[in-house]
């Protein structure tokens, strides 16, 4: 970061700016997760929440947005492990989801 963003002077948009940043971070983490693990493992939403968000309802809202985006790209998703594990697959649900 070379300088602070200009919107830093407007405290009224901090919450939205933080939410946008966290959603981008989640997209990036999921993208890396898919590249690294392919379809063999789940994305741990609870871990992401503990590390970055600290509000599981907000993390779930981010995941709903991302699930819709992935569906548009042809991916299927499944939320397992009590709502904390997000699986990505293109053909069949991974056996580890059961």
pLDDT exceeds cutoff 90 at 57: yes
Q: The sheet that has 43-44: what strands, in order across it?
A: 43-44, 85-89, 76-80
pLDDT of residue 49: 98
Residue 63, Cβ density class (10 Å: 0-12 exposed, 13-18 middle, ≥19 buried): buried
| pLDDT per position as a tens digit, 23-37 | 999 999 999 998 998
pLDDT exceeds cutoff 90 at 15: no
Rounded distance between C-alpha atoms, residue 48 and residue 39, angstroms: 18
Rounded distance between C-alpha atoms, residue 15 and residue 3, angstroms: 20
């Amino acid at each position: 970061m070379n300088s602070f963003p200009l919107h830093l002077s407007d405290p009224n948009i901090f919450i939205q700016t933080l939410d946008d940043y966290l959603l981008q971070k989640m997209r990036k983490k999921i993208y890396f997760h898919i590249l690294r693990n392919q379809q063999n493992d789940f994305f741990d939403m609870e871990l992401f929440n503990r590390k970055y968000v600290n509000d599981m309802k907000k993390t779930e809202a981010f995941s709903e947005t991302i699930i819709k985006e992935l569906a548009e790209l042809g991916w299927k998703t499944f939320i397992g492990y009590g709502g904390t594990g997000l699986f990505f697959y293109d053909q069949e649900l991974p056996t580890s989801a059961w």
